[in-house]
Structure 1
Amino acid sequence: MMIERFEKVTSSLQSISALIIAIVALLWFFEQGLDDPWANVDQKVKSVPLTKDWRYLRAEITFENFGATPIKLSKGNAYIEIIRPLVGKVKESISSSDLERQADNTGIVWQTYIGSQNYRSSSTKSYPEKLDLELTNVLIMPKERQTLNIELIIHCNLEVIVFGSHFENRPSTLGWSTETLVNFEDHGDCNDAI
């Protein structure tokens, strides 16, 4: 009888100590996360046909700081992946009869770039694969929200793109990336532009 009672007491103590350890670990992990930058990032892409050849594109990227420390955005970039019309090696791969042989385990390599001679920003500067964004240390305090805008002029022959952006917090290397699939059929026909 004494042994059974001893077993019950030790079992109860073991359960209580496991519960206390779990609560302490949970509080520790929760407290650790509060010191890290914690943001919700939302990206919206809008466009308007300008002429029969050119379209204005505006990406609005909104950061909302949910953490307890400021977010200091000091580096960013944006890119466009052309989905349709098919271009370059993607077009060759999809058009060929041996697509399965060319694809690796993850599929074919999709060409990513912000533009070439035909895809220019509104400042008419031509960009390589990624558009590096000059940020003058954008500071987002806890519980604050800030929207950054990226504006481009792109060619109207683009039908579907993925617009992506990535921003980094300094001095840490923590960053946020987001992508938006844009079907320009939903944004107005360039042939209807002035």
Structure 2
Amino acid sequence: MGDVWAFRDAVGHWAAGGPGEPAHELARQLELRTAVLVEGASDLAAVETLAARRGRDLAVDGVCVVPMGGAMSVGRYATLLGPSGLGLRLTGLCDEREQGYYARGWERAGAPHQDIFVCAADLEDELIRALGTARVEEVVAAEGDLRAWQTFLQQPAQLGRPRGQQLRRFLGTKKGRKIRYGTLLVEALDPARVPVPLDDLLTSL
């Protein structure tokens, strides 16, 4: 069986103008049926962590989560991977403000719009609201980021802001932090309180 990460890399090169044959061959080796298009690596981490918590191996199920490096690339990725390209079923998880990009990309690829799952603001916001800010701060402390969090809160721009907004901003202030917390926050979720878009996406796969 091929390597899922190799497939992601091959698709990225293809989307950037490279050859499509490596992606075609890896899709065949992996017996892929479905591509989940997400904006970035933190979304990938969250989806795969929830799948693992539920005892799912997405690769075995013929599913590959593909981070695109930005929602504006979705039209290109959808065309390459969807019905008019590799012929995979398309699903996607996106922020509310990016929904239009996804809808146009799906239309361009000839894919059904009901397979787009939309977060109210973004996935981090969904996870913070599902956990509650106090629980997220516990995760931050357990991860050894308490001092950085306390320093962040002293910044003038953060004074008086709602705690949830502060936490969302904090997660994006250091390279790699959103990816790390994409895993940690999903691991901390009560199984009964998984954000609806994430839950619906996993259920659809």
TM-score under structure 2 length normalisation:
0.20
Higher normalized strand content (fraction of residues)? 1
For the pair shown, which has the larger CA radius of gyration, 1 or 2? 1
Q: Which has the higher contact order (CA 8 A, sep 6+)?
A: 1
- The structure that is helix-richer by fraction is 2
Give the TM-score normalised by structure 1. 0.21
